[in-house]
Amino acid sequence: MTKFYMTTGTRNFLKKAQEKNDELILSHGSGHSVLMHETNGPSVFQTPRSYEVIASVGELEKIGYFVLNNIPVTDEGRPIFEYRFKNNTSKLQDHVGFIAFRLLRPINSDTYIVLTEWSDPKYYDLWKNSRDFAQSHKEDKQARGTSIYASKSYVTTYRTRPIDEEEHAEAISEEE
């Protein structure tokens, strides 16, 4: 089964590691950076957060906008949670700017990650406000607060270019 590993660190340290291994994706969140590695082999990280890829749409790309929905699930809730994703991801590919989706089952924690990658944050926003998103999440209003969730979910976002570089790029394009 394909694995997915993540490690957190400072931008410069992770950048050096990324330069040595072409399979690694470097991205930047608020206050920290992460390296992501999807592989059939072992992790190259010393203390990774480790996941099994249990559902997958599209290929991960090195440049994009990552939105990770982190969902803590109880042990008993795992089969129910995973079952709900079966056959429920087919419409993602119809959305403009969609690059990839992964459902990540945690190996060393209780927190599943629903990862999506978009070519630009605005396309994530469009999907988030779409009928398809409402449709695939409508039952969750009832499910929330029931025992399958160990605690509240939280979203983390990562850009593959550091924010200062993005601002710089925007400044350049405005000059053109």
**Which residues make up the interface to ligand HEM (CB under 6 A)?**
67, 69, 71, 81, 84-85, 88-89, 91-92, 101, 114, 116, 132-133, 136-137, 139-140, 153, 155
- Quick one: 2 or 69, whose CB is closer to ligand HEM? 69
CA 74, CA 109: separation in Å to the nearest integer? 10
- Quick one: 88 or 119, whose CB is closer to ligand HEM? 88
Do the beta carbons of residue 56 and residue 33 sit within 8 Å? no
Q: How far is the CB of 84 from ligand HEM (least distance, A)?
A: 4
- Quick one: 85 or 119, whose CB is closer to ligand HEM? 85
Q: How far is the CB of 62 from ligand HEM (least distance, A)?
A: 19
Answer left, alpha or beta for residue 139, where phi above 0 means left and psi between -120 and 50 means alpha: alpha
How big is the CA angle at 110 (ends 86 and 66), to the nearest 5 degrees? 65
Q: How far is the CB of 115 from ligand HEM (least distance, A)?
A: 7
DSSP state string for 38-93: EESS--SSSS-EEEEEEEEES---SSSEEEEEEEEB-TTTHHHHHHHHTT--TTGG
Task: Report which residue's Cβ sits closest to ligand HEM.
Answer: 136
- Quick one: 45 or 112, whose CB is closer to ligand HEM? 112
41, 48, 84, 158 from 110: Cα distances, Å: 22, 15, 17, 21
Q: How far is the CB of 117 from ligand HEM (least distance, A)?
A: 10
CA 6, CA 163: separation in Å to the nearest integer? 20
Q: How far is the CB of 69 from ligand HEM (least distance, A)?
A: 4
- Quick one: 85 or 162, whose CB is closer to ligand HEM? 85
